[in-house]
Amino acid sequence: MPALDGERILLGVGGGIAAYKSADLVRRLVAAGASVRVVMTAGAERFITATTFQALSGHPVRTTLWDPAAEAAMGHIELARWASRVLLAPASADLIARIAHGLADDLLATLCLATEAPILLAPAMNRVMWANPATQANIALLRGRGAEVLGPGVGDQACGEVGPGRMLEPGEIVTALVDRVAGDPRLTSLRGLRLLVNAGPTFEDLDPVRFLGNRSSGRMGFAIAEQAARAGAQVTLVAGPVHLPTPVGVSRIDVRSAAQMRDAVATQVAGQDVFIAAAAVADYTPAQVSGEKIKKTGSENLQLVLTRTVDILAEVAARPDRPFVVGFAAETCDLEHYACDKLTRKKLDMIAANRVGVTGQGFDCETNALSVFWCDGRAELPAASKAEVARGLLALIAERRGQGR
């Protein structure tokens, strides 16, 4: 049986040179068994014709909300109800902005408002447009509402520049759809399990103005929580102070300090099947917090007295009713040595280590790479999106847990 048999894909084609790839995308979707109907924006019509999509999909192509014949039966509502998934490819910066802000100024935007089907976007734009805070805010808004963003890819762009912003290749998009329809077979054993994940930094206050913190963005932990929830796990996420949308299907608890994170984890850990400690928790906290802003004095130096925080990971691993415990280690050197020492010393089931200070890995970026260790083995998860790395880590957890640690 074809991988997408029975799927009804409403393909929205936005304006941009990447629209030429959408013809191959339709061909591949149909070959995979999907029924495809295409809706084009006015901008898309400047790059490719509706006739091309009609020939490849076998269905008439819609281009306007003001089609008397189609709208006699409320055609935009019929299309919105027909779709099992809405795929926007390419999704230009303009299309993303209009969808994010709920505009209904053309047929495609109206369909996105009227549908209850999952929406997937394959962004395509210049690298600077992709990095623009307005675009990133729109992407975050859409993700927070449950839309899924596929890509973008990194490479040569039509403008002659190189960087992130390319639409994923049609084959990559079809593979992503197949994964979402069939589910990742490596993660099937996670369905119904209870996972507790912590993520992000902690902030340790010095006074009402200043704090001690770190550069963790929380993206890796959030990706783990999101992918586990998609696999059918019941996920609780204890999040430090980050500005990230809550993944769909995840229960979120926000904290600020190491003490608050420790209390939240201690409250939630009973009955959990897996605990994944992806947070960058402060090792030290000020012994005293000033009630007023600390002022400059005549001295050239300021001395702070710090005390150790509770080791959340070790505390969970020491419980008699402990879940499967996975730690994280961010290292600048001797990665394997320090990771394995932490694995043994804290009696963990698994540890995932990454090297910080390397381009494309670690803090505040969209990609990562992990070296994963357990008592009698290891695995390498090469550089990829944090979502893909999260799936790889969860697959290892599912496998090791199934082997009884």
Rounded to an integer, the average pLDDT of 343-372 is 88
What one-character-per-residue DSSP string does 306-365 give? EEEPP-HHHHHHT-TT--EEEEEEEESS-HHHHHHHHHHHTT-SEEEEEETTSTTSSTTS
- Of 146-150, 174-178, 363-367, least confident by mean pLDDT is 363-367
Band the pLDDT of 11: cuts 50, 70, 90: very high
What one-character-per-residue DSSP string does 101-165 give? TT--SSHHHHHHHH--S-EEEEE---HHHHHSHHHHHHHHHHHHTT-EE---EEEE-TTS-EEEE
Closest CA to 136 of 103, 173, 176, 165: 165
pLDDT in tens, 175-214: 888 877 777 788 989 988 999 999 999 999 999 999 999 9
Task: Identify the pLDDT of residue 332.
Answer: 87
Task: Identify the pLDDT of residue 363.
Answer: 75
Handedness of CA 219, 220, 221, 223 (dihedral sign): positive
Residues 6+ apart with CB under 8 A from 128: 161
Q: Do residues 368 and 205 make contact, with C-beta atoms less than 8 angstroms apart?
A: no
What stretch(es) of the chain map to CATH 3.40.50.10300?
A: 185-402
Task: Identify the pLDDT of residue 143.
Answer: 83
Task: Identify the pLDDT of residue 104.
Answer: 94
Task: Identify the pLDDT of residue 180.
Answer: 75
Could you tell me whether strands 148-149 and 119-123 are parallel, antiparallel, or unpaired per DSSP bridges? parallel
Q: What residues are labeled active site?
A: 159
Residue labelled with tokens 């047929």: 107
Task: Identify the pLDDT of residue 249.
Answer: 72
Closest CA to 231 of 254, 252, 247: 247
Give the integer Cα–Cα distance in Å for 221 and 237. Answer: 8
Band the pLDDT of 71: cuts 50, 70, 90: low
Q: Do residues 73 and 115 make contact, with C-beta atoms less than 8 angstroms apart?
A: no
Handedness of CA 19, 21, 26, 32 (dihedral sign): negative
Stronger pLDDT, 146 or 348, i.e. the higher one: 348
DSSP 3-state assignment of 23? helix
Rounded to an integer, the average pLDDT of 270-279 is 98
What stretch(es) of the chain map to CATH 3.40.50.1950?
A: 8-182
Q: Does position 248 have pLDDT exceeding 80, yes or no? A: no
Rounded to an integer, the average pLDDT of 122-134 is 95
Band the pLDDT of 109: cuts 50, 70, 90: very high
pLDDT-above-90 percentage for the chain: 72
Rounded to an integer, the average pLDDT of 241-253 is 87
Task: Identify the pLDDT of residue 310.
Answer: 96
Contacts 24+ apart (CB under 8 A), 360-369: 362/330, 363/214, 363/215, 363/216, 363/217, 363/330, 364/215, 364/217, 364/219, 365/217, 365/219, 366/164, 366/219, 368/220
Give the integer Cα–Cα distance in Å for 307 and 57. Answer: 65
Query: What stretch of H or E contains 291?
Result: none
Fold of 8-182: Rossmann fold (3.40.50)
Closest CA to 278 of 360, 120, 137, 393: 393
pLDDT-above-70 percentage for the chain: 97
Task: Identify the pLDDT of residue 405.
Answer: 59
Closest CA to 97 of 127, 49, 140, 56: 140
Band the pLDDT of 361: cuts 50, 70, 90: confident
Task: Identify the pLDDT of residue 372.
Answer: 98
Q: Do residues 270 and 196 make contact, with C-beta atoms less than 8 angstroms apart?
A: no
Token digits of residue 183: 């589910």
Mean pLDDT, the chain, integer = 92
Residue 146's CB is within 10 A of a number of other CB atoms, namely 12
Single-letter code of the amino acid located at 249: G
Closest CA to 81 of 117, 107, 36: 117
- Helix locations, 193-251, DSSP H: 219-230
Q: CATH number of the domain at 185-402, please?
A: 3.40.50.10300
What do you get for the CA distance between the two ends of the chain, in Å? 36
- Of 138-147, 323-332, 377-386, least confident by mean pLDDT is 138-147
Q: Does position 219 have pLDDT exceeding 60, yes or no? A: yes
Q: Do residues 143 and 117 make contact, with C-beta atoms less than 8 angstroms apart?
A: no
Task: Identify the pLDDT of residue 308.
Answer: 97
Q: What is the DSSP letter of 297?
A: -
Beta bridge partners of 299: none
DSSP 3-state assignment of 8? strand
Q: Does position 260 have pLDDT exceeding 90, yes or no? A: yes
Rounded to an integer, the average pLDDT of 214-229 is 93
